[in-house]
Amino acid sequence: MNGLKMIKQKAINICINVDVDTLIHYSNFSTNGVVKDDTILKCILPRMVDLFDEIGIKATFFMVANTLQTSKNLLQDISSRGHEIASHSFSHPQAFHEKSRKEKAQELVQSKIELENIIGKQVYGFRAPGYNIDNIVLDELINAGYTYDSSLCPGWYVLMVKLATRIKSKTYTSSSTSKIYYWESLFLSKTPFLWCIGCRKLLEIPITTTRLKKPFIGTVHLNTKRSFFDSEVSWLKKNSSFINYELHPIEVVSKETFHIAPWVKNIPGVGKMDDPWEYLKYRLLAIKALGDIKLLYQVKIDEY
């Protein structure tokens, strides 16, 4: 065509996933963080799953296993609808990277066993609390029978959050001898790749970053204008073959939650929108329009 070579744009593969942190986990960040009734599992997660089904999205849900004593039926229902259940550890320790190798292994093994016993299916994936992934965790993930990790956020976001946390706490000390992937994440791949751990391999599925290595996650979009989200989607459409979008139920907490846990409003962005559910639906539809959506365990390295 007039001497111009037509270049076919590579198809975009999309994964949408939810870190199901409960109010108990968020309460650790507030001096007034008292939780009388946790609405995340009771009200918000079921509605979120219904929204996904309404618009035809299958998602991966990273669950904290020890929060499910009274929510086993909910987890079974989510799985039966075709969504993937993955591990977000057994108890979501805030300083996961500070745990010993034995404690890390227990978190991985106990979570996998508990989740698999509930849903009757294999659990393939893991995301570390606070994105605190290190070489020991990667090794123990393989030992526990996981096939992929999705804890890496290859940009400045996690690095800056960790630095801010250390400055705020002032008493932060590190007794860990493991190699934590914070600085290295600036230079690692933005698309799925394989960790080589000895002679063994583990698939890493990074959380997506955009221009200037900004994280493409719901928490950021909750604190920015819709036009910013639209510009990020436009950039991804032109520049990416893979999108891994992370959400949290806290993004759509209801007014009922503010009555039982007023401190939730102190979380940046939460409660500031008139209709966070409408904005969530808007984002999901915009991302869905970019390409094919798959579950994380369906990701194949040879596609990138």
pLDDT tens for 19-55 read 999 888 777 655 555 566 678 898 899 999 999 999 9
- pLDDT-derived band at 95, boundaries 50, 70, 90: confident
Domain that holds residue 237: 13-303
pTM of the prediction? 0.89
pLDDT of residue 9: 55
Least confident range from 174-178, 210-214, 244-248, 295-299: namely 174-178
Torsion of CA 133, 154, 21, 53, to 10 degrees: -130
The answer to whether residue 1 sits within a structural domain is: no
Write out the two tokens for 204.
């890493």
For residue 68, what are the CA distances in angstroms to 15, 63, 74? 24, 9, 9
Cα dihedral across residues 197, 199, 202, 204: positive or negative: positive
The answer to whether residue 256 sits within a structural domain is: yes
Residue 171 pLDDT greater than 50, yes or no? no
The answer to whether residue 4 sits within a structural domain is: no
What is the distance between the alpha carbons of residues 108 and 173, in angstroms, rounded to a whole number? 24
Q: What is the domain count for the chain?
A: 1
pLDDT digits (tens, 9 = 90+) for 214-271: 889 998 898 889 999 999 999 999 999 999 999 999 999 877 777 777 778 778 778 7
CATH code, domain with 27: 3.20.20.370
The answer to whether residue 5 sits within a structural domain is: no
pLDDT digits (tens, 9 = 90+) for 134-150: 899 999 999 999 999 99
The answer to whether residue 23 sits within a structural domain is: yes
In eight-state DSSP terms, residue 131 is G
- pLDDT-derived band at 167, boundaries 50, 70, 90: very low
